């Protein structure tokens, strides 16, 4: 596979963004949402597996398959000039060679980063640190073989998200995993479900990898997370949920009162259409 210089430059840019300051990643689910986010000033775009799956009429949790997810990623990467990192869930197969196939497809899609989960299924159980490290190593080797050794591998651990093990032992579990994942070639550790600033501060101080948090309404803001040492912030399915909520509200108003106030202040047709070249 031949990877063009532009893609390599985007991979290096994604790496740089994660070290220059806190990287804030809006999560897109299709080419249109990605184009809007990039036009709004996003320096990089992450996909959300849940949002992509919903747009395909399927549920999250690998109900949409590798081909469907990577086709969506390719459409997103084609329409924006900023780096794109892809939520590949659990890699679309437990075995390291299946993860490798997924990473090869990610590179072919024009994306320059991945999130790879250590959950075997939604809610757990998790792969052992050793098992997941083998899968991460396969991802790194596949990226190199595909011509993009610069691919950014963000290793997601669901210890906090799914409440794995005793609460008192979760921080040490994540630190053990971060060390194993770093040795295997990961570039960051993503810990959704953890927003306690004191615990995040200890994690960021002790982790060998930069820490990514998943934020949302009611949680600490980006500035607070950055002060705790978090280097990367994303919002998962939240923007997609907000968009679908706007569609629901507009429909309820249209079918109820027959008015259109929910449609006010929207991007107009020409603004949207102008985001895409002929």
The CATH number of the domain where 35 resides is what? 3.20.20.60
Asked if the structure places residue 271 within a domain, the reply is no
**199 within some domain:** yes
The answer to whether the beta carbons of residues 150 and 144 sit under 8 Å apart is: no
Q: What pLDDT is recorded for position 160?
A: 98
Is there a contact between 26 and 47 (Cβ–Cβ < 8 Å)?
Answer: no
The partner residues of 211 in beta bridges, in order of sequence, read 189
pLDDT, position 198: 98
Question: Does residue 266 sit within a domain?
Answer: no
Range of the domain at 125: 5-237
Closest CA to 118 of 174, 45, 185: 174
With a cut of 70, which residues of the chain have pLDDT below it? 278
- State pLDDT tens for residues 173-219: 999 999 999 999 999 999 999 999 999 999 999 999 999 999 999 99
226, part of any domain? yes
DSSP labels for 12-76? HHHHHHHHHSPEEE-EESSHHHHHHHHHTT-SSEEE-HHHHHHHTT--TTTSS-HHHHHHHHHHH
Question: Has residue 88 been placed in a domain?
Answer: yes
- How big is the CA angle at 244 (ends 230 and 274), to the nearest 5 degrees? 85
Q: Give the Å distances, CA to CA, from 184 to 27, 94, 155.
A: 26, 16, 10
Residue ranges of the alpha helices (H) in the chain?
5-20, 31-39, 49-55, 66-79, 96-108, 129-145, 170-184, 197-206, 222-227, 238-256, 269-273
Task: Give which of 229, 197, 224 is closest to 212, Cα–Cα.
Answer: 229
- The answer to whether residue 183 is domain-embedded is yes
Is 217 a domain residue?
yes
Model pLDDT, residue 2 = 86
Establish if 275 belongs to a structural domain: no
The pLDDT of residue 5 is 95
- DSSP at 86: E
* Domains of the chain: total: 1
DSSP letter assigned to residue 118: -
């Amino acid at each position: 596979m031949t990877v063009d210089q532009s893609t390599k430059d985007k991979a290096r840019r994604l790496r740089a963004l994660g070290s220059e300051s806190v990287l804030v990643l809006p999560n897109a689910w299709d080419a249109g949402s990605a184009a809007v986010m990039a036009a709004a000033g996003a320096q990089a775009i992450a996909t959300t597996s849940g949002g992509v799956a919903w747009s395909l009429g399927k549920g999250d949790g690998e109900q949409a398959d590798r081909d469907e997810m990577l086709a969506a990623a390719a459409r997103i990467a084609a329409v924006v000039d900023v780096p794109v990192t892809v939520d590949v869930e659990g890699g679309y197969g437990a075995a390291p060679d299946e993860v490798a196939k997924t990473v090869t497809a990610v590179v072919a899609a024009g994306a320059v980063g991945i999130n790879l989960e250590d959950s075997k299924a939604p809610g757990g159980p998790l792969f052992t640190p050793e098992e997941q490290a083998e899968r991460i190593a396969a991802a790194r080797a596949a990226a190199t073989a595909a011509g993009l050794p610069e691919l950014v591998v963000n290793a997601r651990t669901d210890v906090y998200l799914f409440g794995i093990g005793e609460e008192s032992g979760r921080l040490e579990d994540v630190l053990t995993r971060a060390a194993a994942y770093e040795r295997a070639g990961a570039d960051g550790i993503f810990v959704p479900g953890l927003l306690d600033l004191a615990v995040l501060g200890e994690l960021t101080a002790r982790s060998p990898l930069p820490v990514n948090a998943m934020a949302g309404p009611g949680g600490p803001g980006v500035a607070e997370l950055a002060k705790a040492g978090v280097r990367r912030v994303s919002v998962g399915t939240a923007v997609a949920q907000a968009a679908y909520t706007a569609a629901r509200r507009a429909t309820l108003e249209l079918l109820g009162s027959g008015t259109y106030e929910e449609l006010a202040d929207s991007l107009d047709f020409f603004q949207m259409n102008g985001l895409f070249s002929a």
